[in-house]
């Protein structure tokens, strides 16, 4: 499924008041049970994989754990990132409020490869500089830690636009008020995985939603995003 930004994948104790979930929407739409294979953060949009049987779900979960699945994301970050690079920085899968109780922080290896697709420079002083620069990035996470992409790009001082947890408030406000976009600009654009029935490679993609597409257009990146 192409998950909309703002929806939870399934019910969680962290937000017990929420009543709408992608898992239930998928079951209602298809008229049968489906089994979640992986997760996307609530504000993230894009490819979300479900299985029709528990056996297929176990096969696909194992494929994710064994790194036989390729995940491709598009994101907009503050500043100009390097042309390409690898972020190798350990992360914890625990919510931040639990970390002080965990000694070493419960950190595990986390790796993200990325490449810069385009840059835009606006003659607007959002921060202390007379212009503001942004990058369109393709990211290929090699691991699946909690909020990995958001935390990794914050770690290299290029936070994802629209990120209210790890981002830069002034730039988020500029995109919200001047570009009409209040969502997190992080999208799961593609997924390649082995088919449970025979192991053959399957690739699926998900188009950007209207809000993300408008930002791409306003920043002059239409040609780049369509070619990708």
Q: How many whole angstroms separate alpha carbon 45 and alpha carbon 183?
A: 10
Provide the CA 162 distance to its chain's centre, in angstroms: 12
pLDDT at 103 over 80: no
pLDDT band per the 50, 70, 90 thresholds, residue 95: low
- Residue 104 has a pLDDT of 52
Q: What is the phi/psi pair of residue 203, to 5°?
A: -120, 130
Tell me if residue 22 falls in helix, strand or coil: helix
Active site residues: 41
Domain boundaries, the chain: 2-227
Mean pLDDT of the chain: 90
pLDDT at 227: 55
Please give the Cα distance from 170 to 57 (Å, whole number). Answer: 42
pLDDT at site 97: 45
Q: How is residue 214 written in tokens?
A: 């408008």
pLDDT of 128 reads 84
Q: Which has more confidence, 211 or 223?
A: 211
Residue 155 has pLDDT above 50, yes or no: yes
pLDDT at res. 98 = 43
- Quick one: 84 exposed, middle or buried, by C-beta within 10 A (0-12, 13-18, 19+)? exposed
Return the pLDDT at 99: 45
Residue 72 confidence (pLDDT) above 90: yes
Taking residues 121-142, report their average pLDDT.
94
Domain formed by 2-227, architecture: 2-Layer Sandwich (3.30)
The whole-number average pLDDT for the span 89-118 is: 76
Q: Which residues contact 169 (CB under 8 A, 6 or more apart)?
A: none
| pLDDT tens-digit map of 171-212 | 999 999 999 999 999 999 999 999 999 999 999 999 999 999
pLDDT surpassing 80 at residue 228: no
- Per residue in 19-69, pLDDT (tens digit) is 678 999 999 999 999 999 999 999 999 999 999 999 999 999 999 999 999
């Amino acid at each position: 499924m192409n998950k909309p930004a703002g929806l939870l994948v399934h019910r969680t104790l962290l937000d017990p008041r929420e009543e709408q979930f992608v898992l239930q929407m998928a079951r209602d739409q298809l008229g049968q049970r489906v089994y979640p294979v992986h997760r996307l953060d609530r504000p993230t949009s894009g490819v979300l994989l479900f299985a029709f049987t528990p056996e297929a779900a176990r096969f696909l979960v194992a494929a994710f754990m064994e790194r036989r699945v390729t995940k491709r994301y598009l994101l907009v970050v503050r500043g100009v990132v390097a042309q390409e690079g690898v972020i190798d920085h350990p992360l914890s899968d625990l919510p931040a409020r639990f970390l002080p109780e965990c000694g070493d922080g419960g950190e595990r290896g986390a790796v993200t490869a990325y490449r810069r697709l385009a840059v835009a420079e606006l003659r607007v002083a959002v921060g202390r500089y007379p212009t503001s620069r942004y990058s369109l990035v393709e990211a290929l996470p090699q691991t699946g830690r909690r909020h990995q992409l958001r935390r990794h790009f914050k770690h290299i001082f290029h936070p994802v636009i629209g990120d209210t947890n790890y981002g830069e408030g002034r730039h988020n406000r500029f995109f919200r008020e001047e570009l009409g976009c209040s969502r997190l600009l992080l999208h799961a654009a593609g997924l390649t995985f082995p088919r449970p029935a025979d192991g053959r490679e399957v690739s699926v993609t998900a188009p950007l939603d209207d809000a993300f597409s408008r930002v791409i257009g306003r920043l002059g990146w239409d040609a780049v995003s369509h070619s990708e």
